[in-house]
Every structure is written in structure tokens, then in C-alpha cells.
A and B are shown apart, each in its own frame.
Chain A
Amino acid sequence: MKQPFEQVVADHGLTVLRVCRAVLGPHPDADDAWSETFLAALRAYPELPDGANVEAWLVTIAHRKAIDATRARQRQAFPVGETPERASTIGTPGSGDLDLWAAVKALPDKQRQAVAYRYLGGLTYQQIAGILGGTADAARRAAADGVKKLRIHYYSAGTLSEGANR
């Protein structure tokens, strides 16, 4: 028997949003990807087999929506002469958040995705391989390489302990 979809949103909404934000950046695109993920999931929910791993299913949908968002962003991108001033939505400048975001953003797509799905989504490497293609070993390597780069960033920026405790 399936639980009401409201419970699915309550249980997994935050995790999926973290995944979207890690993959797309703390950007309205991440909110859009979340919205489209849960709308698509609601639509398909009655057909989801009983006993399926709901979180892995949601992250799989979120992965596709994030790719769509990235493509749309590339199509719509246009040069802006001067960046308009607005409140930061990505943390406090100088706190280390901005540096960590920059480091996350700098990761190759596969590594960033593997890190997000493993460490935020809690997926197994087998499940990640199902989403990204390739083998579980390749997914494990991508996540490990990604994390290694982020760690180097922590040490060079000296924000490891702060970052972990915030």
C-alpha cells in the first residue's frame, strides 16, 4: 500500500532540494528543478512499484530535471554588462561558503553529481551508476575524486572545521 504523496514530500523534500542545489548551485534553477521533480513524481506516483526506493527514484527524476535546467540555462544565457546588485542567496561572503560553492561548481559534472547523489542523496554507487551510466566502480571513483578536490579546497581555504560545524 502506498503512503499519501504528502508524506513523500515531507520525508524527501529537503534531501531532493539539497541535491538540486548542489548540482545546479543555490540558484532559482534549483528551486525550479525541485518543483518539476515533485510534479513529475506526483504524476507518476501511482505507477511506482510498491517497495521501490522512493529516494533513489526522486533523485533519478531530479537528475533529469537538473540536466533540462542546465540545457535551458545554456540556451538562454546572454552576456550581462554589469551584474545587478542584489542580496546574496548563497551564504555570507567571506565565511567560506562562497569558496565552497565555487569549489563545488568547479567540479566536473559527473563528479559533482556523484558527490551530491552519494553524500546528500544517500544513494548507493550501484544506484548512482544507474543514473549516470557506467559502472558502480566508476561512480565510486567519480565521488571519491570529487570529494578529494573539495577536501583540498577545505585545507587550502582553512575552512574545514568551520564548514563542518556550521
Chain B
Amino acid sequence: MTSIDHDGELDARALAALATPADGTLAQLHRRLEADAEKAGVLDLAYTTIDTPVGPLLLAATVQGLVRVAFEREGFDAVLGLLAAKISPRILRAPQRLDTAARQLDEYFAGVRTGFDLPLDYSLSSGFRQLVQRHLPAIAYGHTESYREVAQSVGSPKAVRAVGTACATNPLPVVVPCHRVLRTDGTLGGYIGGLEAKSTLLNLEKAAA
């Protein structure tokens, strides 16, 4: 009899058990929320994750387009937290907006796609970095350029280090091919996804080209 004097603890458990929905109800409601939010125009950021030969990738898109591709080593929670701070906290896992991007990435990793045809949102970078990142898709599939060559292409031949920084801070790796930029001596340089991922991408393109 003492347990019922415990501020309704027992009642709370019975009530919670009673009010708990069937399995799958919340997942169903989540999908409905994704669709409702998209329709109402309040889904500022939609994201999903996909499995690839370079590990799971997080894809995030605003209504303008794909805004972020992240490698698992960056920490997906950290990336989402940054997106919440920099763009908007109105974020849902809503794979539908990423369907086309996910399909094109699948095709790319299968070696049957050599370029991406996707609306991109470059709003996470600005100035010179964005200028460099917008240039990178001009480096053809299966080809590479040196940091120096990229600096020349964007009209700032002395800004080799800044090109390196622009590549290192590319918010859209794989899709915006910073992996095609190497050191002048042909060694890999750095990569946000790790050097192993960089060589995997380069080898994939060499094999398929």
C-alpha cells in the first residue's frame, strides 16, 4: 500500500504503458511531419545518410540545393549542430529532398556517373573560398590539378595556400571535387575525408574513366 503514496509513481507507469503507441507509430508520424514541413515551407534543412565505399556520408540540403556533404569522421552530430547554428535549427531527417543527390552519388560510386547535375547551395563558404569551390567542378572527372594550377585558374596565382584552405573547408566534398586537387609534386595533400578516402575516389575515377 505504501507504493501508491509515492506521488503517483505507480499510476504514472500504468498510464504511460497505457498511452504508449504501437511500434512504428512514431516513425509514421515522423514521415508525416517531414511531408507537412516541406509543404508548409518550414523545413529549412533536410538531411539523410547514405552508405558509400568511403563510409557513410551525411547529405544536407536547403530549399536552394545541396549545402553539405560530410564524412563520418567529422561527426554527424557535430556537423548538424554547426548547420543549426549557421543556417537554421529547423532541421529534420527527411530523405526525400535528398533523393536525387543520393541517386547521383550511388551512380558516381558505381562508376557510371562522371559529373553531378544538382542544385548546390554554396552559402556555407564565402569570398575566395567560394570562388575556388565554384571552380573545382571544372576539373574533369579522372583528372587532377595542383593547388598552384587552381590558384592560376581563379586568377590569383600567388594564393596557393588559400586554395589549400578553400579545398580543406569545402562543404560539399565528393560532389565538388576537391579530391582532384593535389600537391605540385603529385602527392595527395590533405582531405577532409582522410587520405584513404581521397585515394579511393581518385582510383575509382581512374578505373572508370
Contacts and interface: CB of A to CB of B under 8 A. Distances in A.
A120 B12 contact: yes
Contacts, number: 122
* Interface size, B (range): 35 or more
Main secondary structure of the interface of B (DSSP, over half): helix
Interface string B15-58: 11111111001100110110011001011010100000000000
Interface residues of A, number: 44
A5 B18 contact: no
Interface string A92-109: 000001001100100000
A150 B11 contact: yes
Interface string A16-29: 01110110001000
Interface stretch (A37-45, A61-69, A75-83, A130-138): A37-45
13 contacts: A1-B85, A6-B80, A6-B91, A9-B33, A17-B25, A39-B42, A46-B89, A97-B18, A119-B12, A120-B12, A120-B16, A150-B11, A166-B14
Interface of B: 4, 8, 10-22, 25-26, 29-30, 32-33, 36-37, 40, 42-43, 45, 47, 80-81, 83-85, 88-93
Interface of A: 1-6, 9, 13-14, 17-19, 21-22, 26, 31, 34-35, 38-39, 42-43, 45-46, 89, 91, 97, 100-101, 104, 115-116, 118-120, 143, 147, 150-151, 154, 160, 163-164, 166
